[in-house]
Homo-oligomer: A and B are copies of this chain.
């Protein structure tokens, strides 16, 4: 593994980790923009814009964009979160330059009115579809309730009404402000020729204009509100709990990851033994979500409506005992073991490695080897975890549930 980086005069940063023994290679544009960077009037524009990048440029129409991807046989996609929009592709090693050139071309989209108007329907259908998914709906509503007026509470998809009222002009304006080269990172991993990628990027991207790009930062303590929603057709209860945590930049982020695994890993965690193994809940997990300047613990529980009171009793017991007695060395060791193994396996494939490489640069402006992250996880102590519990008290949470209408 060899790390290389290059920064163009306009601020575009190219980073890469070459692995000559891989058969594939991966490339991704990491754009530091998402729903938290939107105002209410344009909520959903980041995600809509992500779709529009596939609709073509001055040189290519949507059909030609797809043909161009097809020629490389790429597995490609994109996703938008509260704070990032990421475009990526995995290809056989010999196609990396070709697919990188294609992404570079797409990063300067035409954003044509007619494409915008057609795609608007796709977005509205996507919003409708996610409303049919209670597991997504509960997270979306709980994030809003928890972050309240903090921009991280903004919905990624936006509302059908908001999208209906959005204009192509406003999207073009947002694009010009947020897709500046100094607000993006281009990352490559796997088997490829660094010099060739460098010269491609330098010749294609140097004309992109630098701009001043800002983001409102600030920690969020969370509203700690409790709310519930009834939906007549559902058969079980979907519960989301959120509480504040450290940021993506915080040295304690590794401790937060370990704490979440101890409380709510899929298996072997406290939630697992007390709720899932006892058949009180079908799913009960907790994750740490690291954000720019803030963070949150997020738990997700699915159970039958009858079990809701018992489930909350147990969850409260788990958090109380965590605050009172802390964690055991055994729990610490096995949680670390699982996190380390998942980390190494994920990073073994170029497309998996791409995501960690890109996000480390986006959040920290720093190259970290897998070994750096392994060592940071190994170094977490029970005392670190106890400090985190004391500071953030995960038992004091925002709570939202969606379930079937109650009789009467």
**Chain A contacts to B: CB under 8 angstroms:** 21-24, 62-63, 66-67, 69-75, 90-92, 95, 118-122, 125-126, 128-129, 131-134, 231-236, 267-268, 272-273, 276-279, 281-282, 302-304, 334, 337-338, 340-342, 344-345, 348-349, 351
Contact = CB atoms under 8 A, between A and B. Distances in A.
A337 B126 CA distance: 29
Contacts of A131: 235
A62 to B, nearest CB: 6
A351 B352 CA distance: 14
Contact of A303 (B125, B233, B304): B125
B92 A344 contact: yes
Given A71-B337, A125-B236, A342-B75, A279 B351 contact: no
What 7 pairs across the A-B complex have the smallest Cβ distances?
A233-B233, A73-B341, A73-B337, A70-B334, A121-B279, A125-B282, A128-B235
Contacts of A278: 118
Contact of A73 (B132, B233, B340): B340
A236 B129 CA distance: 7
Contacts of A133: 133
A132 B235 CA distance: 7
Contacts of A132: 134, 233-236
Nearest to A63: B273
Contacts of A120: 279
Number of copies: 2
Contacts of A351: 345
Nearest to A272: B66
Contacts of A340: 73, 92
A73 B90 CA distance: 27
A395 B125 CA distance: 26
A380 to B, nearest CB: 15
Contacts of A334: 67, 70-71, 73
16 contacts: A24-B344, A63-B273, A66-B268, A69-B267, A71-B337, A74-B338, A75-B342, A91-B341, A95-B341, A125-B304, A128-B235, A132-B236, A133-B133, A232-B233, A233-B233, A345-B349
Given A70-B337, A268-B67, A282 B129 contact: yes
